[in-house]
Amino acid sequence: MVTKRLTTLGSLSAVAIAAHTAVNLNALRKPNVVAPPLLEKVSVLIPARNEADNILRAVSSVLASLGVANLEVLVLDDGSTDTTAAIVSGIDDPRVRLITGTEEPPAGWLGKPWACKRLSLEASGSVLVFLDADVELSPDAIRASVRELRAHNFAMVSPYPLQIAESWLERLVQPIVTWSWCAFLPLHWSQRSTRPSLSAANGQFLVIDADAYRAIDGHTSVAGEVLEDIALMRALKNSGELTCTMDGSTIATCRMYATTDEVVDGYAKSLWTGFGSPAGSIAVNLFLLTAYVVPPVAALTARSPRTRTMGAVGYAAGVASRAMVARRTSTRVWPDSAAHPASITAFAALSAISWSRHLRGSNSWKGRSLP
């Protein structure tokens, strides 16, 4: 009886979310690359800590931008111990300036918000583009994103880059983040509402109106936030501004993590803060497991044919939701979508690891301790 009820609950939830995903994707914006040249100054701000493998590619992609006549690229070398600073210094382009940051973040600050704050103080553009050093932009990315910012009077747009995933754990986990906001965040509403809860942002690539940013005191308002990107969007909404999360898969790419250890460490540093509390994290993960793991397990193991059928329906709905998002955002559809239950299980396991490390005080990233 318990199995039947859980399977029914999970399957109905999966079907409802699949339906919402289909509706939601119709409201998902994609930057229009056919945009007029920009007349205003754009400051691209890149915090870089030990990014020797990525920084040249990132900066070169920015310098290749089309239709951005007034561009400055500021790179903060955040205490790197590799050749990041030397690589940036060797770029022969007057639009690029290297800023050296050797001091540790002040009390109450985490590393990335502090680096972004430092960069913002040096920026002179009316638009600030915060870009991670492992992101590569298309030539149309900045022009198209700023057009969306201005055309719809947004204070921030977050064009979500295409997430490159190669190793087995990357392929299991990376697509879940994009899928989650495409499936759950009511996009049509979120773009027209100042409710902070309707926020999803990716700090890999953020485009922000400089005046709106400074009106909320920029990264100072999110100094101690692990997920500073979402916190920044919430702060802007709290101030009455509109924001937008959009599909940036055609204009930006990023490979966040290249090894299994990097995937585990990367998600462990932040998942604990994603749902507010241990109770919130447990509730969200139990819901996801009920909706996306219980049905396929029941489809394979339940004694009742009706329960097995219901489980198969739930599994199919979960796969359909995942496949719709993958197709819409240009990521690998098959066979990865079919492994959605395994992806949810891996996500739940990473959440548990994240909370364990947080409670033991052992979370760190790039040589710095985290809360």
Supply 336's token pair.
Answer: 């990865």
Task: List average pLDDT for each run of 10 residues in the chain, which is 371 residues long.
Answer: 82 96 93 88 96 96 96 95 95 96 85 95 97 97 96 96 92 93 92 91 96 97 92 96 96 90 85 80 92 95 91 97 95 95 95 86 72 68
Cβ 39 vs Cβ 61: under 8 Å: no
Position 289 scores a pLDDT of 95
Greatest Cα pair distance, the chain, in angstroms, is 71
pLDDT at 256: 87
pLDDT, position 368? 67
Instruction: Mark out the alpha helices in the chain (DSSP H runs).
Output: 2-26, 55-63, 84-89, 111-122, 141-151, 168-184, 187-190, 210-215, 228-238, 260-268, 278-292, 294-301, 305-328, 340-360
The ranges assigned to domains in the chain are 2-26+264-361, 42-167+174-258
Q: In what order do the strands lie in the sheet with 96-101?
A: 96-101, 71-78, 42-48, 127-131, 205-209, 156-163, 243-254, 135-137
CATH of domain 42-167+174-258: 3.90.550.10
Give the pair of three-digit tokens for residue 210: 């400089």
